Structure 1
Amino acid sequence: MTMLTATTYLSLDGVAQGPGTPAEDPRDGFDLGGWLTPYYDAVMAEYAADWFSRADGFLLGRRTYEIFAGYWPTVGGSDPIGGPLNSLPKYVASRTLTRSSWQRTAFLRDDVVRAVAELKAEPGRELQVHGSLDLLRTLMAADLVDEYRLWVFPVVLGKGRRLFETGTSPHTLRLAEHRTTDKGVSVQVYRAA
């Protein structure tokens, strides 16, 4: 059985929207994108490389997939993140995309919850979700996430889309691991209790 892990960047007040660049996700007038950039350092890169090395495949929402597909195919295979992303299967939840030139990409168009449950039933290590906030909320509601890898940044945004919004079904989690980067990013790993 394959474990489904979810890696998400969060502000202290729980915002998960637009961490990478100002233009990443401006929905609902969000104009604070790119908030993680000042905190990225070698320690973050080391943690990310470790987690990417555990993947057998990636599950991505359409927006995240388009961001990744615009950059990672140009990165060499020896890169600790680009290597796995370019060589392993990518499953994309999308009602609009049907084709991609990025190798090993498959689209999940219909019943995403059923498709992900079937992928999890196969033998393997990890099927990883990175970002993909809308998809992740769907998977959370279906109780398919086995492990949350939350990067909590020392920044308060005051607005934006949150991972755990009002109406999220109650869950009990247990802290499995905690690390802190040199720049004060708290890396918390939670598993279902």
Structure 2
Amino acid sequence: MSLETADWRRRVFALYETVRAQEDPAQAHKVWQTGRDELLKTHAASPVEERATYDGPEIGAYRPELRFDVAIDTSVEPVRWEVPSATDGVIPFSRLGVVHLPEVGDLDVWWLESYGGGLFVPVKDALAGTRTYGGGRYLIDTVKGADLGGDFRAGRLVIDLNFAYNPSCAYSPRWTCPLAPKTNTVAVGLPVGELTPQL
């Protein structure tokens, strides 16, 4: 399973590299949707357990107004966030800053403090538990390749809510995932990105 997971991550890194190379964000979204769909349905390390009968995730229509190229506001108090894990012990994060998204709300930007480090931005919206995963979704997780770009040296991130995706624990209890904290919860509904199927 370790080599399968390594291959999954390699493919995710390659997918996001292709996404960042697209000039049109809507086209980049189509590339992402096709690539993620294939990985979830076919890859041996997919968190989807019943892949033979899985039709792929439902993805909301692209909304260009939900894409932001924003500065990270670092004028925040330092906060440590520790997430207990069934397999990896405690996963430590520290708050790097916050991004302000007009008409949406604020999201904390976290830095993974364990080996290798990485940026992490989850989001939980007003549709959580109905049309979106109850624990929130991920926007950026650079340690695993989910990176939409931005000028890091200038302290900027591309936050595109259309690329919100479910953590692995949304598919299987075998996985333990950091879920969006209160500071990454917004009061608006975000019917974009990866959705929860309507029953």
> Which TM-score band (shorter chain)?
under 0.3
Structure 2 length-normalised TM: 0.24
Say which structure, 1 or 2, has more relative contact order (CA 8 Å, 6+ apart).
1
